[in-house]
Amino acid sequence: MASSGATFKVAGLVVTDHEVEVPLDHSQPGGPTITVFAREVASPDGGDRPYLVYLQGGPGHEASRPTALPPSPGWLDRALQDYRVLLLDQRGTGRSAPVGALPGLSPQEQAQYLSHFRADSIVADLEVMRLALGVDRWSLLGQSFGGFCALAYLSQAPDGLREVFFTGGLPPIGRGVDEVYEATYQRMEERNHRYYRTYPADKQRVLELHRQLQEDQLILPGGDQLSSRRLRQLGIMLGMSGGQEQLHYILELPPNSPAFLHDLEAALGFARNPLYAIIHEACYADGVATRWSAQRVQPQLFQEHPELFTGEHVFSWMFEEYRALAPMREAAHLLADWPWPRLYDASVLRNNQVPAAAAIFADDAYVERRFSEETAEMVRGLRPWITNEYEHNALRVDGSRVLDRLIKLARGLL
């Protein structure tokens, strides 16, 4: 049974906290347990509406927190017309057994512990919570990595689902991890060229900054030294609406200024959410080891041109340069060679009976469109919406419209 905490109101909405105890390893129900937290949000007259579970992007990021000014998240108003919403903190994030440095554990023990924080475990957590709340079936909204979790749910426990909505997160099936990262580098090459067409003077500014980093030490507010390869990680911003502008506004600041150093550090949230760096590549590991794929397949072009920014890529050196990640360096290397189990059952997806719709963004820098279209064709009954109107963060910038269209698609109203 779920443990329900205090109920309170935010901007007229009724908010209730829920917690459940779940096994750390669902294959060993008698073993160690962790607590998983979710926040229920309902309109004043919507307490008996069906549930829509929101699965946050990431991995390693907690769910959105509802706020009054401005109303956030932006898609919530549309969702509450049909549902009460359950904002899940996926295990390892927020209030759900958040992952830190894991002191007192050996590297092997750390790796073993961290191996239980992928989509398959998140699905199993939700099944425990669904039964604890007495829910027959509920719907899912998966953003980015949340969509990966939603597809795993559709594959592993479809009997618990009414509808599934994907936005920027329909993962590849049957594609190797190296194929995934090769595709993302191609997208990032395009994004770099687009950026420098918009801000041509920034190319020289970036090259000069790289030269400065070879000669001088720039220390970030958290105490880490800024390196050229960390600077290049700012490219993660280029896959989002407004990301070009945000990157330019950081780079136009004087490199020695507190504003530059603070803004750059804040833009790279690996220290706040270490789970992202630890299991990002494992999210694509459908029955294979990753072996630092993004590092291995980086094109020669990126190695020869330091002005090219990287994207949603993680590298082994991060566990040396980021002091927040350093305590898990050996565990990260173990996980790079981990024999990850399968995430998806293609036969189940080919015979899917759950109404589903997916927003696929034509120029998505993080989830390759071609691979998402292949998955959409595999999942029986899934209706894709392929659009170039948005970037990867469409749900954040125009959430009500995006969710409304997905609901109508899944219900056959479009």
309 and 303 in contact (C-beta within 8 Å)? Answer: no
Q: Which of 202, 224, 286, 364 is catalytic?
A: 364
Residue 244 and residue 251 in contact, taking contact as beta carbons nearer than 8 Å: no
Residue 104 one-letter amino acid: G
Distance CA 5, CA 175 (A): 43
- Residue 400 is among the residues annotated as catalytic for this protein: no
Of the candidates 398, 336, 411, 394, the one whose C-alpha atom is nearest the C-alpha of residue 74 is 398
Alpha-carbon dihedral 363, 302, 300, 323, rounded to 10 degrees:
-110
Alpha carbons 344 and 293: distance in angstroms, whole number = 20
Q: Report the run of H or E that residue 409 belongs to, with start and end.
A: helix 399-410
The residue annotated as part of the active site, out of 121, 144, 293, 372, is: 144
Please say if 345 is a catalytic residue.
no
* Separation of alpha carbons 308 and 195, rounded Å: 10
* Choice among 18, 61, 313, 392 that is catalytic: 392
Closest CA to 391 of 283, 236, 221: 236
- Radius of gyration of the chain from its Cα atoms, rounded to whole angstroms: 21
Let me know if 404 is a catalytic residue. Answer: no
C-alpha 288: how far from chain center: 20
The catalytic site residues sit at: 144, 364, 392
